[in-house]
Amino acid sequence: MAITGSEATRSASNVRMTAAQIARDVIDRLESGGFAPGQRLVEADLCLRYAAGRQIIREALQHLNALGIVALEPNRGAHIVHVSREDAIMTLELTELLFGLVSRSAARRIAAGADASRLDAAIDELMQSSQSDDRALYMRARRHLFGALSQIAGNAELSRIMDQVRVHAMRAQFGFADFRKGHAQELAQIGHTVIAGDSANAEEQARKYVRSIREALQQL
């Protein structure tokens, strides 16, 4: 993982990042193509990139390892996991259930009077970003949409489980950002159904969305 001089200068001039912030940045870069599945993450390079000490970098790598994004191997260091097609299909089977449950729960809470403004703003952001060539912008907006749904659903344990499913590495492995225009329209429709408080249709649409991705992978 080569670090350019200008990149190191930018990192050094920034406010010191926490381990959690570094981990989040690695995920962002992975989803937008800045890192690649299977790529080694060398501690010295990461220290330079983020102007951080080895202890902070190791904490960030441990966090990424807990999320299933990075593998840590004795005497070999860290590398971003490579997700096989079979693993991705199994992950999507679980994701289908979880996304359906989150969407249904969020719709129910909105029907009961919960504030939908964050989700409405996230839908607008997603649709705008889908027209951009900036993959990172789209993946960030996508994350904001899922975050809004999870927040409205109000189930902390469900949100925790969703975050630990290896979707980040899978998105990078199979290029989800390349299909952003079509995916954004489907996700926006799910969001609007949730805002309407239609829990049954919200769950059905959410599960159908994930199922269509899984079926596409099965054809590869």
Residue 72 confidence (pLDDT) above 70: yes
Question: Which amino acid, 164?
Answer: Q
Of 1-5, 102-106, 123-127, the poorest mean pLDDT is in 1-5
Question: What per-residue confidence (pLDDT) applies to 1?
Answer: 42
| pTM for the model | 0.75
What are the sequence ranges of the domains in the chain? 5-80, 85-218
Fold classified for 5-80: Arc Repressor Mutant, subunit A (1.10.10)
Q: Band of the pLDDT at 66, cuts 50, 70, 90?
A: confident
Residue 97 confidence (pLDDT) above 60: yes
Q: Band of the pLDDT at 10, cuts 50, 70, 90?
A: very low
Residue 9 confidence (pLDDT) above 60: no
Question: What per-residue confidence (pLDDT) applies to 168?
Answer: 66
Question: What per-residue confidence (pLDDT) applies to 4?
Answer: 41
| Residues contacting 177, CB < 8 A, separation 6+ | 31, 32, 33, 135, 138, 139, 171
Which pair of tokens denotes residue 218? 């099965």
Whether 111 and 201 have beta carbons less than 8 Å apart is answered as no
Pick the CATH number of 85-218 from 2.60.120.10, 3.40.50.720, 1.20.120.530, 1.10.3720.10: 1.20.120.530
85 phi and psi angles, rounded to 5 deg: -60, -40
Q: What is the tens place of the pLDDT at every residue in 100-123?
A: 999 999 999 999 999 999 999 999
Q: What is the tens place of the pLDDT at every residue in 168-189?
A: 666 666 666 555 667 899 999 9
Whether 48 and 42 have beta carbons less than 8 Å apart is answered as no
Question: What per-residue confidence (pLDDT) applies to 208?
Answer: 96
Distances (CA, A) of 82 to 87, 162, 167, 186, 219: 10, 19, 12, 27, 19
Residue 5 confidence (pLDDT) above 50: no
